[in-house]
Chain A
Amino acid sequence: MKKNILLILSLSWGTLLPAKTIRVGKNLTITSVQYAINIAFEGDTIRVTSGRYLEKNILIDKKLFLIGENYPILDGEGKYEIISIKASGVLVEGFKIINSGESSIEDFAGIKIYQSRDVVIRNNILENTFFGIYTQYGTNCTIEKNTLTAHNLKEEQSGNGIHCWKSDSMRIIANTVSGHRDGIYFEFVTNSVIWRNTSFKNLRYGLHFMFSDNDAYITNIFQNNGAGVAVMFSKRVKMFHNYFEENWGDAAYGLLLKEIADSYIENNRFTKNTMGIYMEGASRLLMQKNVFESNGWALKIQASCMDVQLTHNNFIGNTFDVATNGSLVLNNFDNNYWDQYDGYDLNKDHVGDIPYRPISMYSMIIEQNPSAMFLFRSFMTSLMDKTEKVIPTLTPENLKDNFPLMKALPL
C-alpha cells in the first residue's frame, strides 16, 4: 500500500517536474514575452517584470500561466491585437494592456480568447483598447477584477469592453468598464453570470444582451451610460440587485427589455433615469421588490407585453409612474406602493381601498404627441388628469393596481 502511494506521488511529481517558471524582463536574459511563450512547455509559468513591452501580437497557443509583476505594460502601438489566447486553461494576470489596433473590418481586442476553455483573465488594466476582453467560443472562462477604460468619442470607432460571443458558462466578476461602446456585451452566451461589475459612461449600453438564454446578472452598477442597459431576445434571464442610475436622454433607459420571456427582475434600483424600464414584447416576467425613484418615466410598458407580474415594488418621486401605447393590458400591477396614490384605507389593512391608476391621461397624450411636453405640469393638463381619473376614456381601463399599498416597502 505504502509503495503504491509512493508510486503515485512520484508519478505525479514526474508530471509536475517539468513545469518551471520563466522570468521575462528588460534586464534579464529573456526580454521578450513571445519568446518566453515559444520556449515554454505546457503548464509553465511566465512571470513578466515591470517595463514596457512592444511585442506586436502575443499568441498563447499552449496552457501557460502568464503573470505580470507590478503591471508590466504591453503596448499594441495602435496597430495590433495584443494578446490572443488559443489554448485552454490559460491564465493572464496583472498586466497593463494599452493601445490595441483599431479597425472596422477586424475586431482587434486587448485580450482575445479563441475557442478555448477554462481561461482566466484576472486583475488586468486595459486602457485605450478597441475591444477590451473578447471571447469567441469560450467555455467556462473567468474574467475577473479587470479595469477597462477607453476614450473614444464615437460609437462606430469604439468596441465593447467585455465582449462574449457564442460562449457558455462564463463568469464576469467585479470588472470596471467605462468609455467603450457597450460596457459588457453578450451575444449567444448561455449559462453565464455577470456579478459585481461596474459599467459607467459607455457610449451605448452599459450591458447589452442579445440571444443569450439562462444567464444571470447580479449586483452590478450601471451608471450614466449613453442608453442604459439593453436585454433583448433572450429567455430565462435573472436580474437581481442591480443599480441602474442616471441614464439620461431621449433613447436612454435604465433597462430596455425587448422580446424577453420567463425572466425575473428583483431587488433592483432604478434611480434618476429618463425611463426606468422600457419593455416591448416581454412576456412572463416577474418583477418584484424593485425601487423606482426619481425617474422621468418609471415604467414604459408597451401593449405588446403580456403576463408581466409587477408586484411589491416601490414607486417614489417619479414624474410619470407608468406609460403605455395602447389600451390592451395583459399584465398585473397589484400590490405595489405608489407615492402618487391619493386613496384611503378605512379598514386599516395597509392596502388602499380604491384602485390606483398609475397612468395619467397626460402621459398618454405625450406618448402620442411628444411635443405636448410643452404643457407639462400646466393647469390645463392637471385638470384633464383629474377628470380622466373620474371617468377614464383615453387611459386603459384595466391598467390599475387593485391593491395599492399605503406604505412604502422597506427595500
Chain B
Amino acid sequence: MNKIIKYVIIDILRNKIMLAYTVFLLLISVSIFNLEDNSAKGLLSLLNIILIIIPLVSILFSAIYIYNSAEFLELLVSQPLTRKRIWLSVFAGLAISLMISFLIGAGLPILIYEPTAIGVMMTISGVFLSVIFAAIALLAAVNTRDKAKGIGIAILLWLYFSLLFDGLVLFVLFQFADYPLEKIMIGFTALNPIDLSRILILLKMDLSAMMGYTGAVFKSVFGTNIGTIISLLVLSLWMFIPAWLSLRKFNRKDL
C-alpha cells in the first residue's frame, strides 16, 4: 500500500500543475500579508482563497487525475492487490499531495504571519477542505465513465457547495422568515463543509459581529470545545463518507 501511495505522490509531484498550484498559493498568501497593512483585511482575502480556490483545485485536479490514471489503475488491478487497497492508496496519495501543497503554499505563511487561533483554524480548515474535495472528486469520477461528463460533474459539485447551496439557504431563510431558524441553521452547516469551515474560522475572526443574536447561537454551539470537536468530526465524516461510497462503487465497477 505504501508503495502505491509513494508512486502516486511521486507521479503527482512530478506533475507541473501541483508545483504551480503551490507556488501560486505561496505567492498570493505572502503578497497578501505583505501588501495589507491591516492584517484583518489580509485574513479576509485569504479566507476567500481558502473557501473558493482550494476546493476548486482539489476537486478538479483529483477528478482529472483519476481519469488520466485509468490505465495505471487497470494495471494495478491486474496485480495481486485488493481493489480496496488500490483505491485507498490512490486517495491517500492525492490527499497527501494536496495537503502538502496547501501547507507549503498557504499554511506556512499563515502560521508565520498570523500565529493566532485564527491562523490555526484557517490551516486546519484548508487541510480538511483539500481532502474532502479530493474525496468528493473520487466519488464523482468513479460514478461516470465519460471523462468530460465526470469533470463537468466535479465542477458542478464545486459550484453547488460554494455558491448554489448558499443561495438555497437564503431562499429557505426568506421563505420561512417568520419561523425561528437559528437552530435549524446549525443543522444546515453540517450539510456543507465549506460553510462549516467558514463559520469555524469566522467565530475566531469576527467576534464582535458574531455576538449578535444568530451569531450568539452559533457561538454557543461551535464556540465551545465540544462544539469544535463535533464540527471537526463532521468535517471528517465529509472526508470518509464520499471516500467510502466511492470505494464501494470501485469495488464493483467493471473497469
Residues of A within 8 A of B (CB): 248-250, 252, 272-274, 294-297, 316-317, 319-320, 339, 365-366, 368-383
CB distance from A250 to the nearest CB of B (A): 4
User: Given A376-B206, A379-B51, A382-B48, is A371 in contact with B211 using a C-beta cutoff of 8 Å?
Assistant: no
- The answer to whether A372 and B173 touch (CB under 8 A), given A250-B216, A379-B48, is yes
Considering the complex of A and B, which 6 residue pairs feature the smallest CB-CB distances, nearest first? A296-B209, A373-B214, A380-B166, A319-B209, A296-B208, A250-B213
Separation of A383 and B167 alpha carbons in the complex (Å): 11
Stretch at the interface among B138-146, B174-182, B244-252: B174-182
Interface size class of B (residues with CB under 8 A): 35 or more
Q: A339-B38, A376-B206, A377-B198 are in contact. Are A370 and B212 (CB under 8 A)?
A: yes
A380 B208 Cβ-Cβ under 8 A: no
Per a CB cutoff under 8 Å, which of B47, B162, B173, B198 touches A371?
B173
Give the distance to chain A from B58, nearest Cβ to Cβ, in Å.
16
Q: Is the CB of A378 within 8 A of B212?
A: no
Cα A375 to Cα B38 with chains together (Å):
24
* SS class, residues of chain B in contact with chain A: helix
Residue of A nearest to B182 (CB): A371
Contact status A380-B210, CB under 8 Å: no
- In the complex, which residues of chain A have a beta carbon less than 8 angstroms from the beta carbon of B207? 248, 272
Q: Which residues in window 155-178 of B have CB below 8 A to A?
A: 162-163, 166-167, 169-170, 173-174, 177
**Shortest distance in angstroms between A223's beta carbon and chain B's nearest beta carbon?**
14
Q: Report Cα–Cα, A365/B170, bound state, in Å.
A: 10
B166 A369 Cβ-Cβ under 8 A: no
Chain A, residue nearest B39 (CB): A317
The answer to whether residues A296 and B206 also contact, given A252-B211, A274-B211, A274-B212 and a CB cut-off of 8 A, is yes
B209 and A274 form a contact (CB under 8 A): yes
Contact, CB under 8 Å: A379 / B162: yes
CA distance A296 to B209 in the complex (A): 4
Q: Shortest CB–CB separation between residue A300 and chain B, in angstroms?
A: 11
Contact A374 B189 (CB under 8 A): yes
Chain A residues near B174 (CB-CB < 8 A)? 369
In the complex, the answer to whether B208 meets A374 with C-beta atoms within 8 Å is: no
Chain A residues within an 8 Å CB radius of B202: 376-377
14 intermolecular pairs with C-beta atoms under 8 Å apart: A249-B211, A295-B208, A296-B209, A339-B41, A370-B212, A371-B181, A372-B170, A372-B173, A374-B218, A375-B170, A376-B206, A377-B44, A378-B51, A379-B51
Point out the residues of chain B lying under 8 angstroms from A383, CB to CB: 163
Rounded to whole Å, the gap between the CB of A354 and the closest CB of chain B is 20
- List, in ascending order, chain A residues with CB within 8 A of B230's CB: none
User: Which of the residues A297, A370, A380 comes within 8 Å of B163, measured between beta carbons?
Assistant: A380
Assembly CA distance A274 to B44 (angstroms): 19
Smallest Cβ distance from A247 to chain B, in angstroms? 9
B163 and A374 form a contact (CB under 8 A): no
- B188: chain A residues within 8 A (beta carbon): 374
A376 to B188, CA, bound (A): 14
Is there contact, CB below 8 Å, between B166 and A375?
A: yes
Apart from A295-B208, A376-B198, A379-B162, list 6 A-B contacts with CB within 8 A. A368-B177, A373-B212, A374-B173, A374-B214, A376-B210, A381-B166
Tell whether, in the assembled complex, residue B189 and residue A319 are in contact, meaning their CB atoms are under 8 Å apart: no
Min Cβ gap B245→A in Å is 26
- Residues in B neighbouring A365, C-beta threshold 8 A: 170
| Chain B, range 207-231, C-beta contacts under 8 Å to A | 207-216, 218
B residues in contact with A371, CB < 8 Å: 173, 181-182, 185, 214
Q: How far is the CA of A273 from the CA of B207 in the complex (A)?
A: 9
The answer to whether the Cβ of B20 comes within 8 Å of any Cβ in the partner chain is no
List chain B residues, Cβ under 8 A from A369.
173-174, 177
B169: A residues at CB distance < 8 A: 374-375
Q: How far, in angstroms, from A296 to B214 measured CA to CA in the complex?
A: 13
Task: Tell whether B40 is near chain A: CB-to-CB under 8 Å.
Answer: yes
Interface string of B20-59 (1 = CB under 8 A from A): 0000000000000000001011001001100110000000
